[in-house]
Amino acid sequence: MMDRVSTRFAACAAQGRAALVTFVTAGDPDLATSAAILRALVASGADIVELGMPFTDPMADGAAIQLGNIRSLCSGTKLRDVLAMVADFRRSDDATPIILMGYFNPILAYGPSRFAADARAAGLDGTIVVDLPPEEAAELVPDLSAHGLHLIRLATPTTDSARLPRVLDGASGFLYYVAVAGVTGANAAAATDIADAVTRLKRSTDLPIAVGFGVRTPDQAAAIAAHADAVVVGSAIVDTIGAAAEARANDIPARVGALVADLAAAVRGARPTKEQAA
């Protein structure tokens, strides 16, 4: 299926590079600023954007993203506001894939069928539901499939060869490899471990492999981009938003854009060019 996600990964592969996936919490620190940040991410080189659904108990997330959730919730962000923000973004950008990432409770409260229909209408491309294991995905997959939305699955260092086929069953879009056992932003995995993991995963699936958790600097992003199909950066960007919000800065999108531009340059330069490889 050639949709926005497949098209973007194909374009990056044709350029001989990994994709840069950026994560921010929608509505952080408020909806108007968050909408401007979304545009800045793309203008600065993000290939795919993950928008976090603000949630009171983001159990897989470290301190940085937990604080991003709190800032968003305190500003009054609801799921319907996140969908409206995406719909507004689509008026000027119909190419950049946007993935909603979060937890199942807000979707369950909204109603899975209504969520899938409204997400598609808004212009979303898929979702990552951290606390929805494959064994319980039937509560959401039929609705997502009916509206052409990806359910992107997570694999971790503890996902062994017996478990991996279950994780991949019904997965689409890409496979998100959580490089460290723990919460977001806490630790960084060794580049050799990530290279080995990507090689192992690619033996079991043709889906692109995106690697995230613990990626904070351009050097770390480049090391992963040498092996993976995509690099996911979240906590470092959310930290930048948090520091600027605390300082009551009025240039938060520009600060985020500067960081993402450095990350994008590192990712784009991580592999040798055809001329260098020859």
Residue 274 maps to a domain: no
Nearest to 9 by CA among 94, 91, 95: 95
Residue 278 maps to a domain: no
Residue 197 maps to a domain: yes
Average pLDDT across the chain, whole number: 92
Give me the catalytic one of 3, 28, 47, 50.
50
Q: What is the pLDDT of residues 178-192, one digit of tens each?
A: 987 666 655 666 778
Residue 276 maps to a domain: no
Residue 50 catalytic?
yes
Please provide the size of the chain in residues. Answer: 278
Residue 140 maps to a domain: yes
Residue 47 maps to a domain: yes
Tokens of 234: 């979240």
pLDDT of 151 > 70? The answer is yes
Tell me the CATH number at 165.
Answer: 3.20.20.70
Whether cis (ω within 30° of 0) applies to the bond prior to 29 is yes
Give me the catalytic one of 61, 118, 125, 143.
61
Residue 139 catalytic?
no
Domain total for the chain? Answer: 1
Q: What is this structure's pTM? A: 0.94
pLDDT of 16 > 90? The answer is yes
Q: What percent of the chain has pLDDT over 90?
A: 82
Q: What is the pLDDT of residue 184?
A: 65
Q: What percent of the chain has pLDDT over 70?
A: 94
User: HSE on the CB side for 259, CA within 13 Å?
Assistant: 24
Determine the structural domain holding residue 152 and report its residue range.
Answer: 4-269
pLDDT band at 272 (very low <50, low <70, confident <90, very high): confident
Q: What is the pLDDT of residue 98?
A: 98
Residue 275 maps to a domain: no
142-178: b (≥16 Cβ within 10 Å) or e: ebbeeeebbbbbbbbeebeeeebeebbeebbbbbbbb
Residue 104 maps to a domain: yes
